[in-house]
């Protein structure tokens, strides 16, 4: 009964999330990936976040098919009709919620999930594959092998202790597997005489890719952490024409999209549920009160102690995390390399015995590199601190936003500051050719900027700033 209830609740969750997405993409409104509901995270009690992500896409597509909107479906990979690339990446959370490093593990899991999505996009654009298959069938000449061993043994005493003194490496490994005393030439020779034939097989596959990846936005984040167990973070990432346009704007290579004005980014973020904020990482787009499309970056960190110093350090770290997400959005060189090796060896002996050994290995290396980029106009729009109900530990977050208008304002302000050149020092007010005239005293208290001998300051007026 419990399992049925759990499954039903998950289905209800997916339908609810999907419904809000469909409402956001109704005719006459903005693209679904730019809706307020996109780019946010959710916390689920489930074993597989990646399965939930795929179920979410499937539910969305089934709904569109029922409505006769097959051309609007989102499938993993490049969707030519709608000009969008969709990727689902996942990263493991290797510890449970009670572990002290649970919070940091969640952040790393998100980064792994995004890296997996970037890897898929790079592979789609620039995949290279090589393969080498080899099979060796042999029936060794026992007489020649024994004679060779005897010669080497007489020339180099003790060589029978070395694996390189055998007929070949495969035979050496085989002898060890059969527990043959390698220091006894007689036993080695007897074992060699028994070998009738061998069958060795190897299949090595290598895949690599190197490509520029930019404009990859977070559409949905799912943190699935079963109670008392380890979990997983899955990301549905999307690259669209608007996201590529925003990446170009961030690089200073084009204009930014505009949209229908909403409330401010700050007001919107402050209205989000804390459970959503705790599960939200990376970059999402949103239109502000002026109609500017913003890139909103969510970073978080975890105080080591309860002190205010630890909290402040975490806020700074969360800010750096958010900046890093913005930089990655602008573009990275993604390089991937994968290698798979399947091998087996079969040996038959004169005593009607045989041995079989197999091995398989896999290695994957992915790097994403982005050089320094000037990014003026980034504002902190919200800072928060909550307790994660799953771990009972505090989480500190910083939300930052960038838009092209703010970047231009920042450039203008920088030019003004450079023109002032205050860092260069100089004569200051002593360079004036005429003394500054002072008003005749009226008996009133001195103003703040009347004299260098001010004894008390005045409260600033908001209009002055």
Beta strands, E only, 161-230? 195-213, 217-224
First-to-last C-alpha distance (Å) of the chain: 63
Q: What DSSP character marks residue 35? A: S
pLDDT of residue 46: 80
> Residue ranges per domain, the chain?
132-207+337-368, 240-331+370-421
pLDDT of residue 363: 94
What is the CB neighbour count within 10 angstroms for residue 384? 18
Q: Which residues contact 306 (CB under 8 A, 6 or more apart)?
A: 394
Q: Which residues contact 267 (CB under 8 A, 6 or more apart)?
A: none
Could you give the CA distance from residue 57 to residue 294 in angstroms, rounded to a whole number?
25
- What are the tokens at 37? 């509901």
Q: Which residues contact 221 (CB under 8 A, 6 or more apart)?
A: 39, 40, 41, 42, 110, 233, 234, 235, 236, 279, 280, 281, 282
Q: Which residues contact 249 (CB under 8 A, 6 or more apart)?
A: 255, 256, 404
pLDDT of residue 166: 38
pLDDT of residue 35: 82
Q: Which residues contact 427 (CB under 8 A, 6 or more apart)?
A: none
pLDDT by position in tens, the chain (length 465): 333 333 334 434 443 444 344 333 444 456 787 788 888 988 888 889 999 999 999 999 999 999 999 999 999 999 999 999 999 999 999 999 999 999 999 999 999 999 999 999 999 999 999 999 999 988 766 555 555 555 655 554 443 343 333 345 556 666 666 666 666 666 665 665 567 788 899 999 999 999 999 999 999 999 999 988 999 999 999 999 999 999 999 999 989 988 888 999 999 999 999 999 999 999 999 999 999 999 999 999 999 999 999 999 999 999 999 999 999 999 999 999 999 999 999 888 777 778 889 999 999 999 999 999 999 999 999 999 999 999 999 999 999 999 999 999 999 999 999 999 999 998 888 876 666 566 555 555 544 443 333 333 334 444 333
For 282-332, the DSSP string reads EEEEEE-TTSBEEEEEEEEE--SSSSHHHHHHHHHHHHHHHHHHHHHHH-E
Could you give the CA distance from residue 32 to residue 264 in angstroms, rounded to a whole number?
20
- pTM of the predicted structure, to 2 decimals: 0.76
């Amino acid at each position: 009964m419990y399992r049925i209830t759990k499954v039903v609740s998950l289905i209800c969750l997916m339908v609810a999330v999907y419904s809000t997405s469909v409402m956001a993409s109704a005719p006459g409104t903005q693209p679904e990936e730019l809706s307020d509901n996109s780019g946010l995270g959710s916390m689920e009690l489930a074993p597989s976040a990646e399965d939930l992500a795929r179920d979410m896409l499937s539910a969305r597509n089934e709904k569109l098919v029922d409505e006769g909107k097959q051309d609007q479906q989102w499938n993993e990979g490049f969707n030519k009709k709608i000009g969008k690339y969709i990727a689902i990446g996942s990263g493991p959370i290797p510890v449970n919620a009670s572990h002290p490093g649970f919070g940091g593990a969640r952040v790393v899991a998100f980064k792994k999930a995004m890296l997996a999505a970037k890897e898929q996009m790079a592979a789609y654009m620039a995949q290279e594959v090589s393969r080498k298959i080899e099979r060796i069938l042999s029936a060794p000449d026992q007489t020649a092998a024994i004679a060779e061993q005897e010669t080497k043994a007489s020339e180099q005493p003790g060589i029978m202790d070395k694996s390189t003194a055998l007929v070949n490496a495969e035979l050496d490994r085989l002898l060890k597997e059969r527990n043959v005393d390698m220091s006894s030439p007689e036993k080695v020779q007897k074992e060699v005489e028994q070998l009738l034939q061998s069958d060795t097989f190897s299949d090595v596959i290598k895949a690599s890719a190197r490509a520029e990846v930019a404009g990859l936005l977070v559409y949905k984040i799912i943190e699935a952490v079963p109670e008392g167990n380890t979990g997983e973070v899955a990301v549905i990432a999307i690259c669209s024409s608007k996201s590529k346009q925003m990446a170009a704007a961030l690089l200073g290579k084009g204009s930014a999209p505009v949209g229908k004005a909403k409330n401010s980014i700050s007001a919107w973020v402050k209205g989000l549920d804390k459970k959503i904020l705790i599960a939200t990482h990376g970059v999402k787009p949103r239109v502000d009160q002026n109609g500017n499309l913003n890139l909103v970056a969510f970073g978080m960190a975890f105080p080591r102690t309860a002190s205010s110093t630890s909290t402040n350090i975490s806020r700074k770290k969360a800010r750096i995390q958010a900046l890093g997400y913005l930089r990655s959005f602008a573009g990275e060189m993604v390089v991937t390399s994968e290698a798979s090796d399947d091998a087996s060896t079969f040996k038959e002996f004169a005593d009607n015995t045989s041995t079989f050994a197999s091995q398989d290995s896999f290695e994957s290396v992915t790097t994403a590199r982005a050089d320094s980029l000037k990014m003026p106009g980034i504002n902190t729009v919200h800072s928060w601190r909550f307790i994660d109900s799953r771990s009972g530990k505090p989480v500190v977050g910083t939300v930052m936003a960038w838009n092209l208008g703010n970047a231009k304002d920042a450039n203008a302000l920088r030019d003004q500051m450079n023109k002032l050149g205050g860092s260069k020092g100089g004569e200051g007010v002593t360079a004036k050719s005429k003394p500054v005239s002072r008003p005749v005293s009226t008996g009133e208290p001195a103003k703040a900027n009347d004299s260098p001998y001010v004894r008390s300051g005045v409260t600033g007026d908001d209009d002055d700033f």
